[in-house]
Amino acid sequence: MVTKLKEVDAVIVGLGWTGGILAKELTEAGLKVVALERGAPRSTDKDYSLPNIRDELRYVVRHDLMQNTARDTITIRNNPGQEALPMRRLGSFLPGEVVGGSGVHWSGHTWRWTDMEFKIRSNYEERYGKKFIPEDMTIQDWGITYAELEPYYDKFEYVAAVAGKAGNIKGQIQPGGNPFEAAREREYALPPLTPILASEMFSEAARNAGYHPFPRPSANATQPYTNPDGAKFGACQYCGYCQRFGCEANAKGSPHMTVIPIAMRNPNFELRTHSWVTKVLKDSDGKRVTGVAYTNLLNGEELEQPASMVLLCAYAINNVHLMLLSGIGEPYDPAAQKGIIGKNYCYQTGTGATLFFEGKFFNPFMSAGGSNATFDDFNVNWDFDRGPHNFVGAYNVSGGFNTALPIGYRPVPSGTPQWGSEWKRATAKWYQTAMTINAAGSVMANRYNCFDLDPTYRNAFGQPLMRMTFDYKTNEHKVGTHAAQVINDIAKSMNPTKLNPASARTDPWTVVPYQSTHNTGGTIMGTNPRDSALNKYLQSWDCHNLFVVGANVFPHNASYNPTGPVGALAYWTADAIKNRYLKNPQPLVPA
Amino acid sequence: MKVQIGGTASVLVLLLIGGAYADGDVTRGEARFQDCAACHKLEAGANNVGPSLHDIFTRKAGTLEDFRYSPAMKRSGIVWTPEALEKFIADPQATVPANRMPYAGMANPSDRADLIAYLQKMTK
């Protein structure tokens, strides 16, 4: 027996950054909005303050803020020839499951992706010719421009209290910032984080090598701050518990202490937690969606929430899963290269070195989410000629720490036994002396990397699990090889006592250990319904009253963290709905 | 510049004689309160990440019934006089070791005087 509820103007599935932004914006525009969130309500005062925080067992080992894989998970394989098996325990990536979503446990790194990404195929074809892009690399232009998104990046950065140093204001290069960034209209909301010794040493070595290091922009408030919506931030205390934790000082820009409480105060808004959406419902001709079906996890009751508009704002992977489960759009078939939903799943790649300096005291337990210095000479710098290296994409290099946990972070020189008294001696000796240099690399879309529904395994609701088919391709191996060389050259120039050098990964991707929660694609945006699931306003080409918001819309993955464009696109979509769609509910771009 | 130096000096003198904070500037104190506002509210009963500061200057530390204090704060024995709060806010961990307030401290004495002047006005 399904209980059918009263129709509302909009139902939001998932209440993290994107759901929170849309909830706030649309309720302020007068819409009646219901948000359905799988997870529990949590707040800084009750949950993210001592003694409930800084607990590595609870948050890092037992994944307290993350998706519960006993209820729903995904199956994984490297290529279509393999049988996919369920991921029984989270590892490589950590989708959040709580009010605030992954925006509670992120580090705060906030970047502006530029036209280098949005016009990727055009850029490479123009400079290197069509043949430079491998045949199985299914990259495409996004159908949006940096100029269109700039005001929305700005909006998100000021809401989330992003601290940084501008490198380019209205075309004027700014000393101390990233000279390769796209022009911004004004400075960051807050000045950059205080550099730590490791990032200062890295910056000096990088500058000596001719690169252009700058402080990493991050939503870690460097001083008390009131955002444009009136949300109050405390100053970052450099306590070191950022990634995987909620912030006890209310210093990390998070939806649960910014956009969501504002929506909660609006009588137009209702939040239902512990609500698991199983399907988006369509009308009889399949041209519109009519609401969602969901289960109350606390009592098992099945409900239907009718709505004039459905906004999928869950974690990227779960948004794609819901599209496949609901039969919206044509599922992607990698063999025939037909269909769209599930296409262009991408991840990130990386490599890193650990440097040991006898006599140094880095105090790695004291850091903020963005306490690294970074350089983009091999990233958003189009003057870096990819031709001789024969790859598409980029990587950024950073040095320092963020969230080097007192228990979990145990750097030792390679060759040290992995347990026993010798390991104990080594970890005590080297803990204070180690710093890291890392590269984060892009992953280009490939015809074989994709999502579909698993033919065998099912979740607690009897629905097919999502199946992920993913591996790194030759292009990514080349990015990693180049990055490892650059990192090792810098590391050697710093004369460490010992060095665990970076090496390019060529082994297949696996679901352990943790790599990054930067899963992208599956319902990609674009210029036409043949090549994309959504138009540039993240509106479904198939059902015009369905919007799908999150990193699942990215046609490929850059080296930068995704939250900047995720937040900016949420505001962009909110404006498109408020200013255009509500007045004339139809496709915002002709098919 | 001259005004600032004079201001600081007079605050120090006042502290030495046992401290009225009449010299603190309430307007500047409101700006200093931004350090606190992400966690503390001034209204009665409005506990947040930190306890409500309403009527703070009449109470013993760690005694609001519906706020979960650290054991360190509960056993501190502090009575929140302006002087006691001034000392605490200068270096919270040194004054009450192992308290749970995530705040490094307000280093400048004239800032603290402004803050306390503001709190004296606003917490009644």
Identify the DSSP state of A173.
Answer: E
Q: Does ipTM surpass 0.90 in this model?
A: no
DSSP A305-352: EEEEEEEE-S-HHHHHHHHHHHT-SPBPBTTTTB--BTEEEE--EEEE
Which of A306, A179, A161 lies closest to A231, judged by CA? Answer: A161
Residues of chain A positioned with their CB less than 8 A from the CB of B37: 224, 226, 232
**A50 close contact with B: CB closer than 8 A:** yes
pLDDT band at B22 (very low <50, low <70, confident <90, very high): low
**B104 close contact with A: CB closer than 8 A:** yes
Pairing of strands A498-500, A8-13: unpaired
**B30 close contact with A: CB closer than 8 A:** no
Closest residue in chain B to residue A239, using alpha carbons only: B102
Rounded to a whole number of angstroms, the distance from the CA of B37 to the nearest CA of chain A is: 7
Q: How far apart are CA A120 and CA A144, in angstroms?
A: 11
Residues of chain B positioned with their CB less than 8 A from the CB of A224: 34-38
Contact map slice: A 208-227 vs B, CB within 8 A: 224-226
Select from A44, A46, A50, A252 the residue whose CB has the most chain B CBs within 10 Å, as the one to mutate to test that interface: A50
Q: Show the tokens assigned to A44.
A: 């800084």
Q: How far apart are CA A163 and CA A215, in angstroms?
A: 9
Q: Show the tokens assigned to B75.
A: 């056993």
Whether B7 has a pLDDT exceeding 90, the answer reads no
pLDDT digits (tens, 9 = 90+) for B83-123: 999 999 999 999 999 999 999 999 999 999 999 999 999 99
Q: Provide the phi-psi class of A238: left if phi over 0, else alpha when psi is between -120 and 50, else beta.
A: left
Q: Cβ(A443)–Cβ(A521) under 8 Å?
A: no
Rounded to a whole number of angstroms, the distance from the CA of B30 to the nearest CA of chain A is: 13
Which position has the token pair 């024995």? Answer: B77
Task: Nearest by CB to A237, from B36, B47, B102: name it.
Answer: B102
Q: What is the model's pLDDT at position A402?
A: 81
Q: Cβ(A465)–Cβ(A74) under 8 Å?
A: yes
Rounded to a whole number of angstroms, the distance from the CA of A381 to the nearest CA of chain B is: 39
**A261 close contact with B: CB closer than 8 A:** no
Task: Nearest by CB to A224, from B35, B49, B70: name it.
Answer: B35
Q: How far apart are CA A492 and CA A526, in angstroms?
A: 44
3-state secondary structure string, A194-206? CCCHHHHHHHHHH
Whether the bond into A413 is cis, omega within 30 of 0: no
The length of chain B, given as a count of residues: 124
The sign of the torsion formed by the CA atoms of A549, A552, A556, A557 equals positive
Task: Nearest by CB to B104, from A50, A237, A248: name it.
Answer: A237
Flag residues of chain A having pLDDT under 70. none
Which position has the token pair 């696996």? Answer: A510
Q: Show the tokens assigned to B99.
A: 């308290």
Which of A431, A564, A566 lies closest to A158, judged by CA? Answer: A564
Residue A126's φ and ψ, nearest 5 degrees, are -65, -40
Contact across the interface for B38 and A239, Cβ inside 8 Å:
no
Residue B76's φ and ψ, nearest 5 degrees, are -65, -25
Task: Nearest by CB to B35, from A49, A235, A248: name it.
Answer: A235
Q: How far apart are CA A576 and CA A319, in angstroms?
A: 20
**B34 close contact with A: CB closer than 8 A:** yes
Q: Which residue among A63, A105, A482, A518 is the active-site one?
A: A518
Q: At what angle do helices A563-576 and A146-159 cross, to 10 degrees?
A: 100
Q: How far apart are CA B4 and CA B23, in angstroms?
A: 12
Contact across the interface for B103 and A44, Cβ inside 8 Å:
no
Contact across the interface for B103 and A234, Cβ inside 8 Å:
yes
Q: Cβ(A330)–Cβ(A387) under 8 Å?
A: no
Whether B18 has a pLDDT exceeding 90, the answer reads no
Which of A284, A325, A227 lies closest to A13, judged by CA? Answer: A325
Closest residue in chain B to residue A248, using alpha carbons only: B102
Contact across the interface for A237 and B47, Cβ inside 8 Å:
no
Rg (CA), chain B: 14
Distance of CA A221 to the CA centre of its chain: 20
A389 flagged as catalytic: no
Task: Nearest by CB to B37, from A45, A50, A224: name it.
Answer: A224
Task: Nearest by CB to B100, from A44, A50, A233: name it.
Answer: A50
Residue B41's φ and ψ, nearest 5 degrees, are -115, 160
Q: Show the tokens assigned to B9.
A: 């000096």
Which of B79, B80, B82 lies closest to B113, judged by CA? Answer: B82
Q: Could you tell me which residues come within 8 angstroms of residue A114 by beta carbon, excluding any fewer than 6 positions away?
A: A146, A181, A182, A380
Identify the DSSP state of A304.
Answer: E
Which of A307, A345, A273, A363 lies closest to A37, judged by CA? Answer: A273
Whether B2 has a pLDDT exceeding 60, the answer reads no
Q: Cβ(A514)–Cβ(A527) under 8 Å?
A: no
Closest residue in chain A to residue B31, using alpha carbons only: A224
Q: What is the model's pLDDT at position A342?
A: 98
Q: What is the model's pLDDT at position A591?
A: 87
Residue A310's φ and ψ, nearest 5 degrees, are -115, 130
Which of A556, A522, A258 lies closest to A393, judged by CA? Answer: A556
The SS3 call for residue A291 is strand
Whether B17 has a pLDDT exceeding 50, the answer reads no
For A212, A314, A319, A365, B37, the CA distances from A310, given in Å and listed in that order, are 44, 12, 12, 43, 36
Q: How far apart are CA A517 and CA B15, in angstroms?
A: 53
Select from B32, B35, B39, B93 the residue whose CB has the most chain A CBs within 10 Å, as the one to mutate to test that interface: B39
Contact across the interface for B39 and A250, Cβ inside 8 Å:
yes
Q: How far apart are CA B115 and CA B21, in angstroms?
A: 9
Q: What is the model's pLDDT at position A401?
A: 82
Percent of chain B with pLDDT over 90: 80
**B41 close contact with A: CB closer than 8 A:** no
- In degrees, rounded to 5, the angle at the alpha carbon of residue A60 between the alpha carbons of residues A56 and A65 is 115
Contact across the interface for A249 and B104, Cβ inside 8 Å:
no
Pairing of strands A464-469, A269-272: unpaired
Contact map slice: A 91-130 vs B, CB within 8 A: none
The length of chain A, given as a count of residues: 591
For A13, A106, A397, A509, B29, the CA distances from A577, given in Å and listed in that order, are 17, 28, 38, 39, 42
Cα of first residue to Cα of last residue in chain A, in angstroms, is 39
